[in-house]
Every structure is written in structure tokens, then in C-alpha cells.
């Protein structure tokens, strides 16, 4: 039986639901999500193998206009490089809201040769359903999209139709990954991302965007994994926010992250968290490289 394998880049501005879509397609949590923009900072491969078809999805950071800091430039570059040499680009937009950043994304992907499918996400939030068709007709005039597919990544509505469409663009090729592998990322990376997700969800509008997580220890001891994670912020006031009164907040972050880790790694987890101030790390390219933000040149 001939096999098919191909790469699909999922792109869009921040907070349109790219990671939620990837998690829905994979049937499990891989990319972290929150309501805050710029939750995804790295390219993450999500691999789905069904019988003879292997689709390798590239989840990307949201492309955004403001690039004042090195980390913002890194995220935009991670997103734009993801669309090179893929078999299909899936551009995700947020229901009836086309913005200047959507235009920027479209300009970036229009310079590539891959076909583009437009996904209009979060249609479950549209109250007046008869407004959807005129909007789809309007956005169809912005670019020569292969197709436009309205979906809800959160509920799964129409996602299966999108998957069948994606599969029609996958070329014949031997599979690149074993059929049970779902990502190219290490367990250490996934653990750090889960801690960062819980911080972003806990802090809401108090969130210091200049925050990252570094795994200092990841040790298997039989049926237990010992994980030590360092949360880096840029100012002492941010450290106090993350820790919370009497350590309440960091304790809750740790409890929620540990639960998700135990599901992801299918074993017991002992998680220890520390918070450290590292001034200006998000605009220091050397510091970013040491923290795993590569390819800034």
C-alpha cells in the first residue's frame, strides 16, 4: 500500500485558535492554550498518522506587528519560516474580525508557493448566522484561497471536513515518523510549556509577558518523574506576582501543571517550582538562545 506524508503549516495572528485546532486534530493536548495573545512562542510539530496517511502539522507563534523586543522578532521569524517548503498552509482567522495583522500574515504566506486554505474559526460565537455567508464571500476576494472552511476548533464543528480537505493535498511519500509519535519535541520542552500555560491562565491581566520557564531537572525514577522548573521573570515585582500571597499562586500553578504532566507522561510526577529574576532576558539574544529560542540570526 502506498503511503502519503506531508507538512501543513498552521498560521495566523495571535489568539485565533491555532493551538486549539492542532490539539483538536491530534485528539490530545500538545500545544498550550490560553486567552492571552502570544501563548505559543515556538514552532511545534504535531504528527497524526492514520493508516497510510501521515500529516505533520507545524503549529506556529502568532504573527504580530510590534517587534520591539528580540523575543517578538523570534516569534515572527518562527512563524514565517514555517511556511517554507510545506505542502499546504492553513491560515486561521477569528470569525468576523479581519485585522491589520491578518493582512500581514496574508502578505507573508502569499510569497510562498504552497496552496492556502483559509479557516474561519470560532463560528460558534457568531450570534447572527446569516452574517457568515456574506463575510466568507468578502474574505474570498482577498486572496486566491483554495477553499474557505468555517469551523469551531473548540467544539470540533466541521474540523473533520477540514482534515479530509488537508489530506487531499498530502503527496505520496514514505512516513517520516513512527506511527505512535505525536511530536518532535522533548518531554522537557512539553513540561516547561505546561508550567507556562498554567502561569498565563492564572495571572490573567497581571501576567508579566516577560516570563519563561526552564526545566533544570527531569529524572525518571521508576514510575515517578522528578521535575524541577525555574520560572524566569524580569523584575522583582513580577516575581511577587507569580508567587502570590504566602506562595498561594505558585502552589496552585504547580498543582495544575503536575496534573496535566501526569496525563501527558502517563506516570506520577513530583514537580518543584522556583522563581528567579533575570533582568531583560526577553530582549537579550544570547539569553534567548540559552533558553531555547534559536534561529534569531
Q: Which three cell numbers stand for residue 147?
A: 477553499
CA distances from 140 to 115, 116, 120, 145 (A): 14, 12, 11, 7
The answer to whether the annotation marks 27 as part of a ligand binding site is: no
Q: How far is it, in rounded angstroms, from Cα 258 to Cα 224?
A: 12
The answer to whether the annotation marks 16 as part of a ligand binding site is: yes
The answer to whether the annotation marks 219 as part of a ligand binding site is: no
Contact 139, 98 (CB under 8 A): yes
Bridge partners of 278, per DSSP, are: none
CA distances from 131 to 16, 149, 219, 268 (A): 19, 15, 53, 49
Alpha helices in 111-182 (DSSP H): 132-140, 159-167
The answer to whether the annotation marks 15 as part of a ligand binding site is: yes
The answer to whether the annotation marks 251 as part of a ligand binding site is: no
Alpha helices in 64-151 (DSSP H): 70-82, 100-110, 132-140
The answer to whether the annotation marks 254 as part of a ligand binding site is: no
The answer to whether the annotation marks 62 as part of a ligand binding site is: yes
The answer to whether the annotation marks 72 as part of a ligand binding site is: no
The answer to whether the annotation marks 233 as part of a ligand binding site is: no
The answer to whether the annotation marks 292 as part of a ligand binding site is: no
The answer to whether the annotation marks 222 as part of a ligand binding site is: no
The answer to whether the annotation marks 117 as part of a ligand binding site is: no
Q: Which element (helix H / strand E) includes 218?
A: strand 211-221
The answer to whether the annotation marks 59 as part of a ligand binding site is: yes
Q: Would residue 151 be called left, alpha or beta, if left means φ above 0 and alpha means ψ between -120 and 50 degrees?
A: beta
Cite the annotated binding site for GTP by residue number: 12-19, 59-63, 121-124
Known binding-site residues equal 12-19, 59-63, 121-124
Amino acid at each position: 500500500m502506498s503511503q502519503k506524508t506531508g507538512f501543513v503549516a498552521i498560521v495566523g495572528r495571535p489568539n485565533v485558535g491555532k493551538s486549539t485546532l492542532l490539539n483538536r486534530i491530534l485528539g490530545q493536548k500538545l500545544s498550550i492554550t490560553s486567552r492571552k495573545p502570544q501563548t505559543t512562542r515556538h514552532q511545534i510539530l504535531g504528527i497524526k498518522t492514520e493508516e497510510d496517511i501521515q500529516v505533520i502539522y507545524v503549529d506556529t507563534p502568532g504573527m504580530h506587528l510590534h517587534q520591539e523586543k528580540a523575543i517578538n522578532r523570534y516569534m515572527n521569524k518562527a512563524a514565517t519560516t514555517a511556511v517554507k517548503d510545506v505542502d499546504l498552509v492553513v491560515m486561521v482567522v477569528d470569525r468576523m474580525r479581519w485585522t491589520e495583522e491578518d493582512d500581514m500574515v496574508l502578505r507573508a504566506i502569499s510569497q510562498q508557493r504552497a496552496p492556502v486554505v483559509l479557516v474561519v474559526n470560532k463560528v460558534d460565537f457568531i450570534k447572527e448566522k446569516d452574517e457568515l455567508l456574506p463575510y466568507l464571500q468578502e474574505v474570498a476576494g482577498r486572496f486566491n484561497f483554495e477553499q474557505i472552511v468555517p469551523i469551531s476548533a473548540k467544539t470540533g464543528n466541521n474540523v473533520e471536513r477540514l482534515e479530509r480537505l488537508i489530506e487531499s493535498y498530502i503527496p505520496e511519500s514514505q512516513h517520516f515518523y513512527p506511527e505512535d509519535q505525536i511530536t518532535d519535541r522533548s518531554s522537557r520542552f512539553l513540561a516547561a510549556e505546561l508550567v507556562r500555560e498554567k502561569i498565563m491562565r492564572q495571572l490573567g491581566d497581571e501576567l508579566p509577558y516577560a516570563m519563561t520557564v526552564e526545566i533544570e531537572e527531569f529524572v525518571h525514577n521508576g514510575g515517578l518523574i522528578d521535575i524541577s522548573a525555574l520560572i524566569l521573570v524580569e523584575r522583582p515585582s513580577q516575581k511577587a506576582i507569580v508567587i502570590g500571597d504566602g506562595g498561594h499562586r505558585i502552589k496552585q500553578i504547580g498543582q495544575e501543571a503536575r496534573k496535566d504532566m501526569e496525563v501527558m507522561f502517563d506516570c506520577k510526577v513530583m514537580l518543584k517550582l522556583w522563581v528567579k529574576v533575570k533582568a531583560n532576558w526577553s530582549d537579550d539574544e544570547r539569553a534567548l538562545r540559552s533558553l531555547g529560542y534559536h534561529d534569531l540570526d
